[in-house]
């Protein structure tokens, strides 16, 4: 029957799942194109390569590194924790087969249209009372007063329990109130101690802050004093250096300026600028006049000499003529 075959199918699916889990680590490739056992390419070249011992060693080293990487990856994977002592893990597979829980994903949603027509609204009739069907045989008996329950006798343990529970609850409440009062007193004492400690901590923090500010202020003042001292020392050194440098520079500069005429005597300057040019000009004028007078005198003397020479020649010529 189908009921007897269903457990067998479940056991088959469970065994198939266990077999797949056991052989999952052994299955390295699902595609024959990536299987190392399939030889591709020229076999002659591979035989020549295999004959090289260096190539074989490199291939073996590559295989060892691949195996080590695979083992490290398997160790890093999160696994199910081991079962505690006395228990063991059980593989549970829902469905009749291994792939019964898989479903095909599709973007197409199957839709169907259904319509119906309701009747007009009708009043609901009153629900009749439920009367169960009578079964069995009617039997009757007579119970006298005091046969089943004696109130005075039965109520005594109930009253004892109620009174004891009430007294116990009252005692617990009283003890709880006393404990709460004690806790409140301890809390008040702790709060007072805590407030005192907080005040002391604040005082110490304020004192530490004042000490820190005073220390920073003193350090800043000391840094300022050191800075001023350094600046003063640098100024003094610069002044001494400038004095030493200018000791021989100033006389040379002054002598050079004096030599180029930047420093002069006003009287000497006036004589050299105003008087001497005027004097030279006047001397030149006088010399020009003298030269002119000399030229005029030379011309007069020359003319007189020429005239006398002519007179002398005429006189000589007349004497010659008279002698002849």
User: For residue 289, what are the contacts with CB-CB under 8 A and spacing of at least 6?
Assistant: none
**The pLDDT of residue 57 is above 90:** no
DSSP class of residue 94?
-
On whether the pTM is more than 0.85, the answer is no
Question: What gap in Å lies between CA 282 and CA 285, rounded to an integer?
Answer: 5
**The pLDDT of residue 49 is above 60:** no
Supply angle C-alpha 29, 35, 38, rounded to 5. Answer: 155
For residue range 67-119, list pLDDT tens digits in order: 888 888 877 776 677 777 877 777 665 555 555 555 666 677 777 888 777 76
What is the percent of the chain with per-residue pLDDT over 90, rounded to a whole number? 23
Q: Pull the structure tokens for residue 80.
A: 């199910």
For residue range 224-267, list pLDDT tens digits in order: 999 999 999 999 998 888 888 777 777 787 788 777 777 777 77
């Amino acid at each position: 029957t189908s009921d007897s075959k269903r457990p067998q199918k479940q056991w088959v699916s469970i065994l198939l799942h266990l077999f797949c889990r056991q052989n999952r680590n052994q299955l390295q490739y699902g595609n024959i194109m990536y299987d190392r056992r399939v030889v591709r390419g020229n076999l002659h070249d591979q035989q020549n390569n295999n004959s090289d011992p260096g190539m074989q060693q490199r291939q073996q080293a590559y295989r060892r590194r691949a195996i080590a990487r695979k083992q490290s990856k398997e160790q890093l994977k999160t696994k199910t924790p081991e079962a505690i002592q006395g228990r063991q893990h059980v593989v549970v597979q829902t469905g009749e087969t291994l792939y019964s829980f898989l479903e095909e994903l599709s973007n197409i949603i199957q839709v169907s249209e259904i319509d119906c027509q309701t009747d007009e609204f009708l009043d609901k009739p009153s629900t009749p009372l439920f009367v169960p069907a009578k079964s069995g045989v009617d039997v009757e008996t007579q119970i006298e007063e005091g046969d089943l329950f004696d109130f005075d006798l039965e109520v005594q343990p109930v009253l004892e329990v109620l009174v004891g529970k009430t007294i116990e609850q009252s005692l617990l409440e009283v003890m709880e109130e006393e404990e709460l009062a004690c806790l409140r007193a301890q809390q008040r004492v702790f709060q007072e101690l805590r407030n005192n400690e907080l005040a002391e901590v604040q005082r110490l923090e304020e004192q530490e802050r004042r000490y820190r500010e005073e220390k920073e202020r003193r350090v800043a003042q000391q840094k300022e004093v050191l800075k001023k001292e350094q600046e003063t020392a640098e100024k003094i050194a610069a002044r001494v250096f400038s004095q030493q440098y200018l000791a021989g520079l100033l006389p040379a500069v002054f002598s050079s300026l004096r030599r180029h005429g930047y420093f002069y005597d006003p009287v000497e300057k006036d004589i050299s600028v105003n008087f001497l040019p005027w004097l030279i000009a006047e001397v030149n004028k006088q010399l020009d006049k003298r030269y002119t007078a000399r030229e005029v005198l030379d011309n007069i003397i020359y003319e007189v000499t020429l005239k006398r020479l002519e007179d002398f020649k005429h006189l000589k010529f007349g004497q010659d003529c008279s002698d002849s």
